[in-house]
Amino acid sequence: MSQEARLLEKQCWNCTTLTDEHFCTSCERIQLLDLSTNYFSFFKLPIKFHLNLKELENKFYELSRKFHPDFFSQASEQERRYSTERTSMLNDAYRTLKEPLKRANYLLRLQGFKAIGQETKTPPDLLAEIFELNEQLEELRYAKKSKDNTLFNTLKTQVLDTEKMLKERANELIYNLNSIFSLWDNLPNNSSLEEKKKLLNNISDILSKIKYINNLLENIEEEFDE
């Protein structure tokens, strides 16, 4: 995009003041949502993993009020559309940023990762283990269905042990994730591409491991919920 086009895009549609805010700094009219806006920039946050959740929440409520359709019931159709578009992005952005795992995945995508774990292959050991544990859970479902109580109780103890072990591992991985993201957040601006890539690959690798484990944990929880 040419510099000129970019400038045009950031001009207020109403009074042509240059503005990069949700509302024009001069005439206070709601602005068109720029396509280059991401969830971080929407909240005026730097693209970093660690953020102040309380601040994020406050900002969310503040903006929800400002964009609320009720304020635009008398406005032009254009402004009504801008307010809906901003509300919708606000909700998506908040939902994504407030959850650490969603935020981590989103941050990686912004850095050009198409899909998590694509760069690094899942360790075969982990795959084999996850597969085996899934089979264990399947056996338990079968015992339940065929009303084999003795077998069911034995398997239940095993599965609950598995659950405990998986939760510990997930916590450990999340701890690692936090520390690697601290490195990422504090990378100096002049750090090399390789350095960045190395950290991001590491993060991607951990996220995929967490995904396998959380999937299995969800399935286990589902089994005992009913």
Partner 1 sequence: MAYSDKVIDHYNNPRNVGSFDKSATDIGTGLVGAPECGDVMKLQLKINKEGVIEDAKFKTFGCGSAIASSSLATEWVKGKTVDEALQIKNTDIVRELNLPPIKIHCSVLAEDAIKSAVADYRKKQESLVKEEVLQTIS
Task: Give the interface size with partner 1 as a residue count (CB under 8 A).
Answer: 21
CA distances to 137, 161, 221, 225 from 140, in Å: 5, 13, 13, 14
Q: Give Cβ neighbours of residue 129 (< 8 Å, ≥ 6 apart).
A: none
Encoded one letter per residue, x for contact with partner 1 by CB under 8 A and - for no contact, window 133-152 reads -xx--x--------------
Position 214, amino acid: N
**In the complex, minimum distance from the CB of residue 116 to partner 1, in angstroms, rounded to a whole number:** 5
The residue range among 14-22, 53-61, 148-156, 208-216 that interacts with partner 1, by the rule CB under 8 A, is 208-216
Other C-beta atoms closer than 10 Å to the C-beta of 87 total: 17
131 near partner 1, judged by CB under 8 A: yes
- The C-alpha atoms of residue 176 and residue 198 are separated, in whole angstroms, by 15
216 near partner 1, judged by CB under 8 A: yes
Structure-token match 């510990």, residue found: 168
130 near partner 1, judged by CB under 8 A: yes
| Interacting residue with partner 1 among 26, 52, 118, 146 (CB under 8 A) | 118
127 near partner 1, judged by CB under 8 A: yes
The SS3 assignment for 25 reads coil
| Interacting residue with partner 1 among 122, 136, 154, 176 (CB under 8 A) | 122
Residue-wise over 9-46: b if at least 16 C-beta within 10 A, else e?
eeebebeeeebeebbbeeeebbbbbeeeeebbebbebe
Among positions 97-116, residues that touch partner 1 (CB under 8 A) are 115-116
Binding residues for partner 1, rule: CB under 8 A, are 115-118, 122, 124, 127-128, 130-131, 134-135, 138, 207-208, 211-212, 214-216, 219
